[in-house]
Amino acid sequence: MSDARDPTQFDPIVPNTGEEYEPLEVFPEDDGFDLRPGADSCYKCSTCDTNCPVAEVDDDFPGPKFQGPEQWRLKQTDDDYEIDPSISECSNCLRCDTSCPSGVNLAQMHNTARGEYVDNQVSKLSVKYIRNRILANYRTSAYFASMFPRTANFFMNFGPVRWAMEKVMHIPSEREFPEFATQTFRQWWSERGGAKVHSDDKKIAYFHGCYSNYNTPEVAKALVRIYEHFGYEVMVPPQKCSGTPMFANGMLDDARRHAETNVEELTAAIEEGADVVASCTSCSMALRNEYPELFDIDGIDDLAEHTYDAVEYLRIHTDVRQELEAAEVSGELEEEFAYHAPCHARNQGLERQAIELFRDLDGVAVEDVGESCSGISGTYGWKSEKYEKSMEIGSEMFEHMEESEGTTGMTECPTCASQMEHGTGYEVRHPLELIEAALID
Amino acid sequence: MAIESDVLVIGGGLAGLSSAISAAREGADVRLVTYKQSTLRQASGLIDVLGYTPDGEGPLTDPYDAIPELPDEHPYRLLGEDTVREAMSMFDEVADTYRGGHTDVNALLPTYGGTVKPTARYPEGAAAGLASDDRDLLLVGFEAMPDFDAPHVAAHLEAAGVPFDVRGETIQFPGDLMDDAKVTRYAKLLENNGPVEVRGRERGARDALVERLNPLIEDEGRIGLPAVLGDADAAGVRAALEAELGIEVFEVPATPPSMPGVRLEDRLFEAFDEAGGNFESGNPVVSFDGQDRVETVYVDKQNARIPYSAEQFVLATGGLVGKGVESDREHVYEPIFDCHVEHSEDRYDWFDEAVFGEHPFAGFGVDPDAELRPLDSAGSPEFENLRAAGSVLGGYDFAAEKSGSGVSIATGYHAGRLAAQEAQ
């Protein structure tokens, strides 16, 4: 029998394998995150692999179980081990993370592995690196484009320009560039003179993200009107990109710079008594989940604890459900909708929120088109070498959308929306727009 | 404020889904919250009610006959035979792609290991594989899927004395997939007849597979393959194969990760949705408010704590593997409500020295009253509005008895129905 048999003589605090053994210094040279405890929780059930939309269509992709816990172990036991290049085939949908019955933190493992791969193994002069950096820094391009939105809209979808982009930058010419609004949300907000409702105890700070500022200000305006309808004072602090496209491209330094601004500005709003809400589910996931997993910035946990999805926050703090049950929708949005839940909404348990909320709303029907992934995954589908794969992943969603009664799409995620439009030709709306249509005038 | 419902079910496995469906069918406003995906995805997809007695007698012909002989604390004894039967009828209505409901008698199905297993319900796709069927049988495995070694399984079945001839062959899956291709990759290729490369030419995977299977068939009446024949449309894949091969096709129930388990989970969520239920996954319930009654539970959404309130709660968080029951060196506990879990103070009494011995840990769980409310150490209900279902319950050893699915369905059904009745 082992010497640990008598529990009274066993003290797990004191190492019992020899005096030199220091359990905290197994990997002394590593000053990053130690994910070993997470890797040890993996019991190889492969549930993550059965949820991976990339592994389902790509025979060469080894799957999330390999990318996360297995690769982590290889790396820890072999000093020369380099991150497998297949990490850049991962689309960062994070369904693996949502599925793991053992709570292994696959999101954190994939993001750190990808960051390390891009830092150490990718040439900073390669066209793909430069292209990825431009894609990941969408906010910068959008900022310039929004100065001359009509010109940008014309050139970004102008045939010869797109041909050149495909040849030089490997940006697929099949994709339609999102249209830039002629007035950004922030311009509208300052023209309006900011908040119309002032309150000492009901305040939210709106993280609008890049997309609803530059491309779909109607979503952001809907949010403002809904929250003011419920008596909230809306704050719109200065902000940068949430960082999601940068995580997905392994550009953690870029992401960190943006995160620092966001954490500083949003925690200042929290100190004034606000909670933070986001209308894009990838943004809310970044603030809630990815920030504290990847960075160590003052106030970052405080921000995570106070961040919510915009609709989720209404469900908790207002009687939006009862109001919707009593309301009806007529006019432009009196429609049947084919709803797709974004992967990053699933990750936050929001995959059924729109279905539940609109179940008893007169004048509309919202049908869930199922659990398939749209396949675009932010910048993933914007790369020529991944375009076909992204469309193959999305094919199930396109079919389900076409089978459903509705011919208008609905989702919370702007890039899912563009893939839904691209694959089916449907117009796509945000749940906030429907709430606005039901509750306000 | 909080997100509100009549009945809140915690856990999305077989027990959680059964109780959520049964409560929704009673007309209650039901919400199911589940932390990640359940161990149902790792299960064979077979629905066992009772295969062996706790003393190891069996395989049992009629599981219902054996219920009165079970120990007092066994969940089936708490519910009674009639409730178990009602629960199974609900399952039969909901899982309409399952067979076996026409008789009380256990069916015998060949497994991946070549044993023959007594089970109460089986997926349609496994039906042609019944061991009581006397048609000769051909098993075909794929080189890159070593979990199912067809010649080995065939030899085992022969040795078990099955009433037919059985032969096993191993082939390469068309397209030479990587050695650890995912089961979903096989399923998707077969379902879509997706393109694979065979000798330099692009072919549909299903067509190419038929070409490889055809020459292997001698005069067998049925052919068994690993359970990767499609995902959303498994029946369609099977029908297409049968049309081309001219004999019946079946899937041998799988080891994890298991497509039959995935399909059953999908079907049950669909049924819950049809019954008007609400659900969400991905985040754990971590704490609660309340003294004699549970008032509100909190879901930890990546650091923000989201409150959920309800009239009635059902705890269906699973056993040791599903993490509904946890342990450290000192004690065994139920992590959300800290309900009492009976166990010896000396952890060396938690297990048996023999690998296949009678392990006390296999029966660890909360002990309930007849209404399935977990009891404290003094024998009173921990909370008046909390019920428990499935493998978070103690008093039975599902692995030895082959009773896991049956207990989950029966206790889930009962807990859900009582919760709904009391909530309204």
DSSP state of A180: P
Phi, psi of B184 (to 5 degrees): -65, -25
Helix (H, G, I), strand (E, B) or coil at B123: strand
Q: Do the Cβ atoms of B37 and A356 come within 8 Å?
A: no
| Contact: A352, B278; criterion CB under 8 Å | yes
**Contact B19/B413 with Cβ under 8 angstroms?**
yes
Place of tokens 């009828």: B89
Q: In this structure, are residues B174 and B205 in contact, taking their beta carbons and an 8 Å threshold?
A: yes
Cβ–Cβ under 8 Å, residues B227 and B125:
yes
Local mean pLDDT, 10-residue blocks, chain A (441 residues): 49 50 50 68 91 93 94 82 93 93 90 92 93 92 89 87 89 90 97 97 97 96 98 98 96 96 98 98 96 94 96 96 95 95 95 95 96 94 95 96 96 96 97 97 73
Closest Cβ–Cβ partner in A62, A308, A351 for B304: A308
CA atoms of B388 and B401, how far apart (whole Å): 20
Please measure the distance between the N-terminal and C-terminal CA atoms of chain A and give it in whole angstroms: 77
Q: What is residue A155's predicted lDDT score, i.e. its pLDDT?
A: 85
Contacts of A7 in chain B (CB under 8 A): 329, 346-348
The total number of residues written for chain B in this structure:
424
Nearest of B387, B392, B383, B386 to residue B317 by alpha carbon: B392
Six-digit token string for A365: 């029907």
Name which of A52, A306, A97 is nearest B282 in CA terms: A97
For residue range B240-269, list pLDDT tens digits in order: 999 999 999 999 998 899 999 999 999 999
Long-range contacts of B62-69 (CB under 8 A, 24+ apart): B62/B104, B62/B105, B62/B106, B63/B104, B63/B106, B63/B120, B63/B403, B63/B406, B64/B104
CB A281 within 8 Å of CB A412:
yes
Whether the per-residue pLDDT at B414 is higher than 50: the answer is yes
**Beta-carbon separation of B302 and A289 below 8 A:** yes
What is residue A75's predicted lDDT score, i.e. its pLDDT? Answer: 81
* Residue B254 DSSP one-character state: P
Å between B27 CA and nearest CA of chain A: 16
- The domain of A368 spans 321-439
A304/B304 CB distance under 8 A = yes
**The last residue of a domain, from among A61, A93, A121:** A121
Closest by Cα among B298, B423, B341, B281 to A101: B281
Single-letter residue type at B30: V
In a domain? residue A427: yes
Residue A9 has a pLDDT of 59
Q: What pLDDT is stored for residue A15 in this prediction?
A: 46
Note whether B42 contacts A103, CB cutoff 8 Å.
no
Q: pLDDT value at position B105?
A: 96
User: Is residue A405 situated within a structural domain?
Assistant: yes
Question: What pLDDT is recorded for position A264?
Answer: 98
Q: Does residue A295 lie within any of the structural domains?
A: no
- B interface mutation test: which of A43, A100, A352 has the most B CBs within 10 A? A352
Q: Are A119 and A298 in contact (CB under 8 A)?
A: no
Measured distance CA(A173)–CA(A191) in Å, rounded: 36
- Angstrom distance (rounded) from CA A88 to CA B7: 43
Chain B residue with minimum CA distance to A350:
B280
| Whether the predicted pLDDT of B84 surpasses 90 | yes
Residues 6+ apart with CB under 8 A from A185: A208, A212, A213, A217, A220, A221
A73 in any annotated domain: yes
pLDDT at position B131 over 90: yes
**List of chain A residues whose C-beta atoms are within 8 Å of the C-beta of residue B183:** 46, 49-50
Give the separation between CA B375 and CA B201, rounded to whole angstroms.
Answer: 65
Give SS3 for A69: helix
- Mean pLDDT of the B57-79 span: 95
Q: What is the ipTM of this complex?
A: 0.90
As for how many domains chain A has, the answer is 2
B300 forms bridges with which residues in the sheet?
B305
- Write the Ramachandran bin of A375: left for phi over 0, alpha for psi from -120 to 50, otherwise beta: left
**Any domain includes A285:** no
DSSP secondary structure letters along B128-151: GG-TT--S-EEEEEETT-TT--HH
State the Cα–Cα distance between residues B69 and B56, nearest whole angstrom: 13
Q: What is the DSSP string of B313-358?
A: EEE---STTTTSSEE-SS-EE-TTT---B---SSGGGSS-SSTTS-
Distance from chain centroid for Cα A66? 22
Q: How far apart are the first and last CA of chain B?
A: 21
Of A121, A148, A176, the last residue of a domain is A121
CB A252 within 8 A of CB A116: no
Give pLDDT, residue A267. Answer: 98
Query: What distance in Å separates residue A71's CA from the closest CA in chain B?
Result: 15
For the stretch B170-228, pLDDT in tens is 999 999 888 889 999 999 999 999 999 999 999 999 999 999 999 999 999 999 999 99
Which pTM does this prediction carry? 0.93
Q: Which of residues 361-400 of B touch A (CB under 8 A)?
A: none
User: What pLDDT, on a 0 to 100 scale, did the predictor assign at position A59?
Assistant: 86
pLDDT for position A370 = 92
- CB half-sphere exposure, B278, CA atoms < 13 A: 22
Measure in Å the smallest separation between the Cα of A47 and chain B Cα atoms.
Answer: 6
From the list A267, A370, A266, the residue with the least C-alpha distance to B232 is: A370
Q: Tokens representing B114?
A: 């070549």
The neighbouring-strand residues paired with B388 are B315
Which tokens sit at B130?
Answer: 């019944």
CB B107 within 8 A of CB B120: yes
Closest CA to A268 of A289, A226, A298, A288: A298
3-class state of residue A438 by DSSP: helix
Report pLDDT digits (tens) over B327-360: 998 999 999 999 999 999 999 999 999 888 889 9
Three-state secondary structure call for residue B191: helix
Q: Phi first, then psi: what are they for A211, rounded to 5°?
A: -70, -45
User: Which CATH number belongs to the domain containing residue A343 in this structure?
Assistant: 3.40.50
**DSSP state for residue B106 in the 8-state scheme:** P
HSE, side-chain direction, 13 A CA sphere, residue A191: 7
Residue of B nearest to A367 (CA): B273
Q: Do B178 and A5 touch (CB under 8 A)?
A: no
> Is B307 within 8 Å of chain A by CB?
yes
Query: Which residues neighbour A255 within 8 Å (Cβ) at sequence distance 6 or greater?
Result: A243, A246, A247, A294
Q: Is residue A401 part of a domain?
A: yes
> Taking CB atoms and an 8 Å limit, are A49 and B33 in contact across chains?
no
- C-alpha B138/C-alpha B136 separation (Å) is 7
Quick one: which of B255, B273, B225, B298 has its CA closest to B8? B298
Spatial contact of B118 and B126, defined as CB atoms under 8 Å apart: no
Mean pLDDT, all residues of chain B: 95
Compute the distance between CA of residue A100 and CA of residue A395 in angstroms, rounded to an integer: 25
Structure tokens at B339: 């309900």
Listed as own residue / partner, the contacts of B145-149 with beta carbons closer than 8 Å and 24 or more positions apart are: B145/B173, B145/B186, B145/B226, B145/B228, B147/B112, B147/B226, B147/B254, B147/B255, B148/B112, B148/B226, B148/B252, B148/B254, B148/B255
* Residue from B173, B182, B184, B353 whose CB has the most chain A CBs within 10 Å, to mutate: B182
Q: Which of A55, A347, A359 sits opposite B282 (nearest CB)?
A: A347
A318–B262 C-beta distance less than 8 A: no
**Domains (ranges, CATH) in chain B?**
3-100+262-423 (3.50.50.60), 112-252 (3.40.50.1860)
- Residue B254 has what pLDDT? 85
Distant-in-sequence, close-in-space partners of A102: CB < 8 Å, separation ≥ 6:
A41, A42, A43, A45, B323
